[in-house]
Amino acid sequence: MIRSSVYNTGMSKQAMREPTFLILTALAAGPQHGYGILNDVARISDDRVRLRAGTLYAALDRLRSDGVIDVDGEEIVDGRLRRYYRLTPSGTQVLAAEAARMAVNATVAMHRLNPGTAALADAIA
């Protein structure tokens, strides 16, 4: 990787966009190819987010250049290139940090919406 970490601070400091979060979440379970990521993102989001190829590959290119994901391997299936992507260690950290940030926000929101239920849920947890 050529780019220094100086140039890669943006993702960790800004809120991640939902498609990016879902792509990284799809890869958290293991390496996947492009079509697999599309289907997994739809499944994770309960069909609310359906990515298309243009959006997906623009995102994959950006995430690769940020060092968040990398190519895990390639194969030829029915005469067509299939490339697998995986999270890098840095990508795992970025996803974990974003998930933790969202969880904290969600907890605060639940507490404020319904203090009694949230306190009970905290006690049970």
Partner 1 sequence: MNDTSALERWYRRLLAWFPAEHRRAYGDEMIGVLLAAGSEGRRRPAAGDVIDLIRGGLRARLRQAGDGSPDVGWRDALAVFSIVAPAMALEYFVVNNAVDWAYKLLSYPPGMALYVNNGPIALGGLVIFLAVTLPPLLALRGFRRTAIVAASIPAAVLTLFRIGSLVGSRKNFFLLLGLDGYLLLSVLVVIALAVSPGPRRGAAIMTARTWSVVAIAAGIAAVATTDLRYAYQAGTKVEAIVLAATFAAAAVGLVVTLPARVGRRLLLLLAIPGYAIVMELVANGGLPFANTVDQFGIGLIYPPTAVLIGVVGVLAWRSGRRSRETVDHDHAA
Instruction: Count residues near partner 1 (CB under 8 A).
Output: 28
Contact 69, 86 (CB under 8 A): yes
Distance, CA of 108 to CA of 12 (rounded, Å): 21
* Cα 125 to Cα 36: distance, rounded to the nearest angstrom: 34
Q: Please, which residues bridge with residue 86 across strands?
A: 70
Residue from 13, 46, 47, 54 in contact with partner 1 (CB under 8 A): 54
4 binds partner 1 (CB under 8 A): yes
Q: How far is the CB of 66 from partner 1 (least distance, A)?
A: 11
Letters for 10-49 (x = contact with partner 1 by CB under 8 A, - = none) are ------------------------xx--x-----------
Q: Write the DSSP symbol of residue 62.
A: H
Could you say which of 15, 29, 81, 102 contacts partner 1 (CB under 8 A)? Answer: 81
